Structure 1
Amino acid sequence: MADPASSCVLLTGASSGVGFEAAKVLSAQGHQLLLLCRSQATADQTLSQLSGTARALICDLADLAAVAEVCSQLLDSGTVLDALVLNAGLQYAGASAAQFSAQGIELTFAVNQLAHQLMASLLLPQLLKSARPRLVITASEVHNPVSGAGKVGKPADLGDLAGLRAGAGFAMVNGSDRFDGNKAYKDSKLCNVLMARELDRQLAAAMPVIAWSPGLVITRNNGGFFRYNKRSNPLGMGAFAFVARDLLRITESPANAGRLLAQLVTDPQIPPGFSYYTNKVVSFGGHRLESTDTSAEGADLTKAEELWRLSEQLIASSTCR
């Protein structure tokens, strides 16, 4: 990274959980932060808890028009970005019916993948103006069917991207009409990994493009990321959180995960090109961040390119309505 006093970091998902904890660390280090928040009230609350220089941009990631507008503002202002951190995400596991974005796109895919692809494609020129740019994408080990979390329930599998080929209104990326909230989230995290692969290909290793898994992060009140799960299955979510966090102690705290995200944003030792890091459980209640392999599907460069192309077409058709 450039000198902390002059580094500008754009971060999505900074109002709660891992993103908020990372924002606190980065702000304290002297970085200039641009934080995307869903509402002015959320923005005001977030900014009031940061110690350094930060500015909030109001943007609902479930609305591609809002994403395009905020990117247009940044382009018009000539803002140079030293780091683009695509961290926001949602999951509504247990839901049996799909929810849809402002453009009629299944909500998990719309927020976790499509909004971030649009943001990356529009803001890359501002990122490339930096002396030492980087791009960080929060994915998850659930993208990998052979990982512990990836084995629970149906595995991530994009098939031949039949849902995307059909256009807006699909329930699942692989074309299935039967919605599965847990699999939809896994699929979106696989898409995140493939997006990072494709961006690195487009950039020809011009900068570090980092995908990472923060581990299983659950707050004490199960808020933030898990707020959608609480609505659809509050008892199940509460029981799951108790077992994973308090009995098995396999979860990571938001503070530690946020510190790791800040580290990935600033560590000068990470080389240009694609890399994938996972916050691996190594002992009872212990974790270690390490570079590792993605799933086999997450390493499919042909699928990564096709996913980007079809997503680009979906964005264009949805925003032109």
Structure 2
Amino acid sequence: MRSDSWDHTAMGDHSGRTALVTGANSGIGFEVTKALAANDVHVIMACRDLERARSAREQIHNSVDEATLSIEELDLADLAGVRAFAETVRADYTELHALCNNAGVMALPRRETIDGFEMQFGVNHLGHFVLTGLLLDKLEETPGESRIVTQSSGLHERGEIDFDDLHGEESYDRYDAYAQSKLANVLFAYELDRRLQATDADITSVACHPGYAATNLQRRGPEQSGSRVRLWLMKVANAVFAQSAATGALPMVRAATDPDVTGGEYVGPGGLLNMRGSPEIQRSSDRSYDPPLARELWDRSVALTGVSYDLPDPRAETASAAETDA
């Protein structure tokens, strides 16, 4: 593990760079945006609620001198909207140095996206899978190294990918569904990096998690299910055990900016039970390092969304090399 009390002051000079942060108007996304803007990064705030995004932009402008921020509407639960958003980014922005796949939902009562996917799997994984695929050319065209950072959670460790019931139509548990989506995030980040490394693209893919940070994410499930008791327990736990959202944002900030972080790595808090503290390079769950599982998830994601990546399949590369050696 590499831990060195890293914080945003260690970012160095990133002036002139552009980053896109999904879910930038609150919680971790807001703090990631603020930290990047404070280091002269132009941030595209990709948000579902434009009114909240404008309020968040004003808050950052009030505390960060000369922050350069733009707002674009993005609803990850609507793939047609994701396509329209990506088209806007490709047309209106000349460069994209970092894509921070941060937005997510947690422990919701079972709901479906516009496209009929279980909401947590659809937003947390499939929405970002589509967004990343559609912006890959923009990242590749940008001079210098570009980086894709995908936000997971420590709860990915309890996750399993149920290919027979990906959308919880036969059996649904809100926390199992969340854990599945967060495992999918890590599997995707690692498989994407393997495919990128098989090309000449100067792009790396990294995964991260915020530990236990006090944000609105934990409130949405209890609020939507109408459970006052669960909502009260979440508020107490956030107040007593959680670190601040600003500290929880540091793993993503480090993953997006630290040149010592390399592709296929996993960044998270290095303190108590990996729930709080300075960001370090960590090991994710054993299941997350299963290439056949990651490839099956990749293939299923392509089939579900209709979005494929112009990247070589490591399986084909390996088979071709074996035939040449033979």
TM-score bucket of the superposed structures, by smaller chain: 0.7 to 0.9
In 1, the alpha carbon distance for the partners of 2:291 and 2:98 equals 24
CA distance in 1, matches of 2:134, 2:274: 43
Q: Which of 8, 32, 36 pairs up with 2:42?
A: 32
Q: Are 2:151 and 1:157 equivalent residues in the alignment?
A: no
Give 1:170-249 correspondences, 5 Å limit.
Answer: 170-171=167-168, 177-204=170-197, 206-219=202-215, 223-224=216-217, 226-232=219-225, 233-243=227-237, 245-246=239-240, 249=241
- Are 1:124 and 2:142 counterparts? no
Matched, 1:99 2:111: yes
Letter in 1 for 2:157: N
Deviations, residues 5-62 of structure 1 (Å, cap 9, x unaligned):
2100001011110110111111111110111111321221122122300111111111
Structure 1: which amino acid aligns with 2:228?
P
Aligned amino acid, residue 62 of structure 1: A
Conservation of the 8 A alpha-carbon contact between 2:193 and 2:206: no
Equivalent AA in structure 2 for residue 114 of structure 1: L
Residues 295-318 of structure 1: CA distance to partner in whole angstroms, max 9, x if unpaired?
Answer: 12111111111111111111129x
- Partner secondary structure for residue 158 of structure 1: coil
Q: Give the CA RMSD over aligned residues.
A: 2.3
Write the mapping of 1:247-258 to structure 2, written as runs, cut at 5 A: 249=241, 251-258=242-249
User: Distance between the aligned counterparts of 1:293 and 1:196, measured in 2?
Assistant: 14
For 1:41, the equivalent position in structure 2 comes to: 51
Structure 1 residue 158 displacement after superposition: 1.1
Any conservation in 1 of the 2:95–2:138 contact (CA below 8 Å)? yes
Deviations 1:201-254 (A, max 9, x none): 1101743321111111224xxx345323333223123224414642xx3x2210
The number of aligned residues is: 287
Distance 2:254 2:190 in 1: 21
Name the aligned partner's letter for residue 312 of structure 1: V
> What secondary structure, in the 3-state scheme, does the structure 1 residue paired with 2:135 have?
helix
- Runs of 5+ unmatched residues, structure 1: 146-155, 165-169
Matched, 1:291 2:285: no
Q: CA deviation at 1:196?
A: 0.3
Deviates more, 1:61-70 or 1:251-260: 251-260
**Amino acid of the structure 1 residue aligned with 2:220:** R
Distance 1:137 1:190 in 2: 11
Q: Given residue 105 of structure 1, which amino acid in structure 2 is its aligned partner?
A: F
| Residues 148-190 of structure 1: CA deviation (Å, up to 9, x unaligned) | xxxxxxxx1114x1235xxxxx326xxxx11111110010000
Q: How far is 1:281 from its partner?
A: 3.2
- SS of the residue corresponding to residue 41 of structure 1 reads helix
Structure 1 position 78, deviation (Å): 5.4
Q: Distance in 1 between matches of 2:91 and 2:31?
A: 29
Q: Is the 8 A contact 1:82 1:132 kept in 2?
A: yes
How far apart are 1:284 and its partner, in Å?
12
Partner of 2:94: 79
TM-score (norm 1): 0.83
State the TM-score, normalizing by the size of structure 2: 0.81
Structure 2 stretches lacking a partner, 5+ long: 1-10, 62-66, 308-326
Contact 1:282 1:288 in 2 (8 A): no
Secondary structure at the aligned position of 2:21 is classed as strand
